[in-house]
Amino acid sequence: MKKTIAFFSLLAGFAALPGIASATGGLGCGIDDKNVKLEFESLFSYSDIGGLFQIRGVLESKDKRTYEALQKMTLEATDLKQQWFRDNDVKLMLYRETTGDGVPFASVKLIIEATKPPEEDFGYDGKYSLTVQPVGDGAEAFTVEGKVGCSAG
């Protein structure tokens, strides 16, 4: 039920966006556990292409080893590096790394892989993995995993 409410809230939000053609739908994914908070929203066409656009949302890595500038970030279209939204699959890769002169390298990569069960009209269940490269010589990347829910329609 919560998933359904969240989905229709997402659609209502999209309906308020100006200039959106009627042949579009919304895809949203959410995570809120001890490691990650994600609010991901996007639009897709009901065509046979299905690519996502108007990406927005927030990704938060709760692990304090995450570089400060990457701990909580407002998502942009360029953060979506790979996507596969076809049939019953949703696969997303969100990635951002530090940029700028003198800024140490650090990165955050979130991978979502979810599928729609046969009995579901809108909901996708799956897993996520968040790989974080902290700052510092010898600092090793670490990965946390958990469950993710997505809705599309």
Which residues contact other proteins by CB under 8 A?
19-21, 23-24, 43, 45-55, 77-78, 80-86, 91, 93, 95, 97, 99, 107, 109, 111
Task: For 135-146, give one letter per residue: b (16+ CB within 10 A) or e.
Answer: beeeeeeeebee
- What are 37's two structure tokens? 């908070």
Amino acid identity for residue 63 in this structure = D
Q: What's the closest the beta carbon of residue 31 comes to other proteins, in angstroms?
A: 19
Residue 75 CB coordination number (10 Å): 20
Cα torsion through 90, 30, 149, 23, rounded to 10: -50
Closer by beta carbon to other proteins, 1 or else 15: 15
Report the nearest approach of other proteins to the CB of residue 95 (Å): 5
Query: Residue 13, Cβ neighbours under 10 Å: how many?
Result: 13
Q: Are strands 142-152 and 24-32 parallel, antiparallel or unpaired?
A: antiparallel
Instruction: Find the shortest distance in angstroms from Cβ 46 to other proteins.
Output: 7
CA 94 to chain centre: 6
In angstroms, give the least distance from the CB of 94 to other proteins.
9
Distance in Å, CB of 141 to other proteins, minimum: 10
Using an 8 Å Cβ cutoff, are 93 and 79 in contact? no
